[in-house]
Copies of this chain bind each other. A is one copy, B any other.
Amino acid sequence: MGEYRKVYRKLADLGEVFEILSKIVKARSLRVEEVPVEKALRRVLAENIKAAYSVPPFSRALMDGYAVYSSDTSLAYEDKPVKLKLAGVVKIGEAPSFELRKGECAEIDTGAPIPYPADAVIPVEYTCKTPSNEVEVYRRVAKGENVDLVGSDIAEGEIVAWRGEIVTPQLIGVLLSAGITKIKVYSKPQVTVIPIGSELAEPGVELEYGKIYDSNSFMIAALLEEAGASVKRLNIVKDSYSEIKDAVDRALEDSDIVVTIGGTSAGLGDLTYRVFSEYRPGVIVHGLKVSPGRPTVIALAGEKVLFGLPGFPVSCLNIAKLLLVPLIKMLQGTSPSVIEKTVEAELLSPVRGAVGLVKLVPAIIAERRGKIYAYPLSTHSGALYTLYMSDGFITIPENTEYLAEGATVSVRIFSENFRQRVLFAGSHCPLAISLLERLRERYSLKIIITGSLTGLNLVGKKIADIAGSHLYDPSTGEYNIPFIEKYKYRDLVVVRGYLREQGFVYRRDLKIKSFTEIIENELRFINRNKGSGTRALIEEIIKREAKKEKVSSREFKERIKGFEYEVKTHEAVGYLISRGIADVGVAVKYIADKYKLGFTKISTEIYDFILSKDILNKNIAKDFMHVLDPSSLKKIITLLPGYSLHKDTGKVIYAC
């Protein structure tokens, strides 16, 4: 095992680690078990399988009729039938007791064996049986017509399935047809998952401030189970050397692989590494050349593999997908090439690499006219939801500092779903969401909340099909359209949405009408992210108030306590104020009502929908236009505080 030690104490290359894991798998004989074919769905074959019987096991009739020598019928016509002697009858499920001679025929059921050497079946509707036991045939049949030849599907002794193949319903059908009832498959690897972290709380308990729920261990358990492992999860273990050591010892008793999550960072004294070092042959990887996922530890305890995953969800999932899932698949005899699913895509927004690391950037993918495009999502390793929204990872090679828009990138895809769905992207709005929801019943629709500007960008670049946006242009007083023109997007239509009230949202004991009041009362403001329509509104109001106060906007902003503190949804603004973490923010009226907060209207703004022309002819666009029609929208909109119809609601107000 000495050679595995070579990457010890330096950052390990992903490919190198993959090779090491492959070698570990190859060095051991995989466990195999015999299972009944019908219980083997999704298991992996551990042997090549030869047909025990031919399929069909005899030549059989595909129609009810008469088995004949086709050459005997060559002169048969509707007005000049050929007469054949009836030599006998063959029933389904029975063996023929006679051999057919020239000039003879045999009555036969669909599925019954053809008497040798008949080579065709004339369907009963083209025949007439005479009282003298003769059969009149009214058309010719070609050789082989209506005959299913013995072994024509599968011949006895032929390999019908291969080692490493995954058992599908069709294969179950093939195997049972060919007389196979039991097959050898690879045993499921036994895995124990151990969540580590003093900040973790078990799901279901009340969450204290400063704690987070352990979700990683369940996510990884599900991922590995899907990959074919049999997985057990232990309860949360604190950041303590002895507790971790005890848990790993316990897990090793009945596992092929032990996965810890968390406890790998330097701040915690690199606990997992220290525990893993106790086993022999010991640590083989201490740090990976991958971002996110760098603080990964891998060790061997005898033939067993210890996997220390980082605790941040993206890192954790990332490394589990890159290394653990392949390891588990290899332990079941699947070829590594089946595991890696990558597509080439054109990059729609620049990305930066990480020095000395392979960087993986979550991306949204779209297929347009056979070509694949990737839109990178900016994120960090804690952002699980961003990962959940994404379709795969863009891989930025180790020595690449920067990749420009238009570059060809390799994307590891999570699934092929992106090929068939419709994508909505844009600003968060409770009403927009409830309208889209109606479409989800009939269509494969993915909804991602990105803010107005990114949404517009995505539909402009044809990654998204529909965007929701409320971007205000102060110089024209118009919404959204000036931005489409500014970016020179093409093949879009804008459908007028509705009006919604935006305003100051604040603690119920206050009454706020301006930023000047916020500054005077030293209130804690909670800001919105740049690129959001609401942030644009905030900046516009501040510009006006600063002018009145005769200071620069910058100076004015500096006086607002917490101005730097950005969140990305209306919900978060309401939530933080309701929890007493901040005093005031800007959001839609709906949120003020929801969180029972005070509200002072700033403006009534327009929320529009921008559709890609590509989907205009599709049913989903028609249905969406129907939902937006004032007659149907009216009923919903009255239920939501702060919302109202625009005079052009549901109309196409712009096309380019």
Q: What 0/1 readout, one digit per residue, does chain A (366-410) give for beta carbons within 8 Å of chain B?
A: 000011100000001111111110000000000000000000000
Would A116 and B562 be within 8 Å (CB), given that A158-B571, A199-B92, A440-B163 are in contact? yes
The verdict on A566 contacting chain B, using a C-beta distance below 8 Å, is yes
Shortest CB-to-CB span from A399 to chain B, Å, is 23
Please give the distance in Å from A267's CB to the nearest CB on chain B: 4
Which of A7-15, A53-61, A502-510, A598-606 forms contacts with chain B?
A: A53-61
A144 within 8 A of B: yes
A151 part of interface (Cβ distance < 8 Å): yes
- Contact between B335 and A440 (Cβ–Cβ < 8 Å)? yes
Contact A384 B55 (CB under 8 A): yes
- Minimum C-beta distance from A211 to chain B (A): 6
A498 to chain B, nearest CB (A): 19
A93 lies within 8 A of B199 (CB):
yes
Pick the interface stretch among A165-173, A353-361, A480-488, A535-543.
A165-173
In residues 567-588 of chain A, which contact B (Cβ within 8 Å)?
567-569, 571-572, 574-576, 581-582
Task: Verify B113–A210 contact, CB threshold 8 A.
Answer: yes
- For A495-524 the 0/1 string (1 means CB < 8 A from B) is 000000000000000000000000000001
In the complex, A201→B162 CA distance in Å? 26
Given A37-B203, A384-B173, A575-B54, are A442 and B335 also a contact pair (CB < 8 Å)?
yes
State which residues 166-223 of A face B: CB under 8 Å: 168-177, 179, 181, 197-199, 203-204, 207-216, 218-223
A433 to B168, CA, bound (A): 22
Binds B, one of A104-112, A248-256, A455-463: A104-112
19 pairs from A and B in contact (CB 8 Å cutoff): A57-B209, A62-B382, A69-B564, A93-B211, A95-B210, A111-B199, A112-B199, A116-B562, A119-B565, A148-B380, A154-B384, A158-B449, A160-B385, A169-B222, A172-B219, A175-B215, A335-B440, A335-B444, A416-B416
Bound CA span A218–B175, Å: 10
| A95-B208, A210-B112, A567-B155 given; A444·B117 CB < 8 A | no
Set B117, B239, B317: member contacting A562, Cβ < 8 A: B117
A3 at interface, CB cutoff 8 A? no
Instruction: Report whether B92 and A37 are in contact in the complex, using a CB–CB cutoff of 8 Å.
Output: no
Min distance, Cβ A622 to any Cβ of chain B, angstroms: 14
Inter-subunit contact B158/A569 (CB<8 Å)? yes
CB pair B170–A388 under 8 Å, yes or no, is yes
Give 10 new A-B contacts, CB below 8 A, not counting A109-B267, A163-B440, A416-B416.
A37-B218, A57-B209, A64-B266, A116-B582, A149-B567, A173-B216, A173-B218, A176-B219, A177-B213, A179-B207
- CB pair B441 A335 closer than 8 Å: yes
**Bound-state Cα–Cα, A92 to B386, Å:** 24
- Which segment of A277-285, A336-344, A544-552 sits at the interface? A336-344
If A157-B571, A370-B370, A569-B151 touch, whether A317 touches B170 (CB-CB below 8 Å) is yes
- Which chain B residue shows the least CB distance to A334? B444
Write the residues of chain A forming the contact surface with B, with a CB cutoff of 8 angstroms: 37-38, 41-42, 48, 53-60, 62, 64, 69-71, 92-95, 109-113, 116-117, 119, 143-144, 148-160, 162-164, 168-177, 179, 181, 197-199, 203-204, 207-216, 218-223, 225-226, 239, 265-267, 311, 313, 317, 335-338, 341, 370-372, 380-388, 414, 416, 419-420, 428, 433, 437, 440-444, 447, 449, 524, 558, 561-562, 564-569, 571-572, 574-576, 581-582, 594
Cα distance, A71 to B559, chains bound together (Å): 12
When distances are taken between beta carbons in the complex, the residues of chain B under 8 Å from A567 are: 149-152, 155
Given A144-B564, A207-B57, A388-B170, A442 and B337 contact (CB-CB distance below 8 Å): yes
Identify the closest chain B residue to A316 (Cβ).
B173
Asked if residues A41 and B222 are in contact (CB atoms below 8 Å), the reply is: yes
Select from chain B the residue with minimum beta-carbon distance to A570: B155
Are A176 and B213 in contact, CB atoms less than 8 angstroms apart? Answer: yes
Contact indicator A170/B569 (Cβ below 8 Å): no
Q: Are B198 and A117 in contact (CB under 8 A)?
A: no
Measured in the bound complex, the distance between the Cα atoms of B113 and A488 in whole Å is 43
The interface residues of chain B lying within 8 Å CB-to-CB of A155 are: 567-569, 571-572, 575
- From B95, B181, B317, B433, A209 is in contact (CB under 8 Å) with B95
Contacts of A433 in B (CB 8 A): 159
Q: Are A437 and B174 in contact (CB under 8 A)?
A: no
Q: Given A62-B380, A92-B199, A151-B576, A317 and B159 touching (CB < 8 A)?
A: no
Residues of B with C-beta under 8 A to A152: 383, 567-568, 572
Chain B residue, CB-CB nearest to A119: B564
Select A148's contact among B54, B204, B382, beta carbons within 8 Å: B382
CB distance from A368 to the nearest CB of B (A): 11
A433 nearest CB across to chain B (Å): 6
Contact of A93 among B93, B210, B267 (CB under 8 A): B210
A86 to chain B, nearest CB (A): 18
Rounded to whole angstroms, the CA-CA distance of A371 and B169 in the bound complex is: 28
Residue from A37, A117, A223 having most chain B Cβ neighbours under 10 A: A117
Chain B CB within 10 Å, residue with most, of A60, A143, A179? A179
The distance from the CB of A206 to the nearest CB of chain B, in whole angstroms, is 10
For A343, the closest partner residue in chain B by CB is B419
Chain B residues with CB under 8 Å of A581's CB are 116, 150
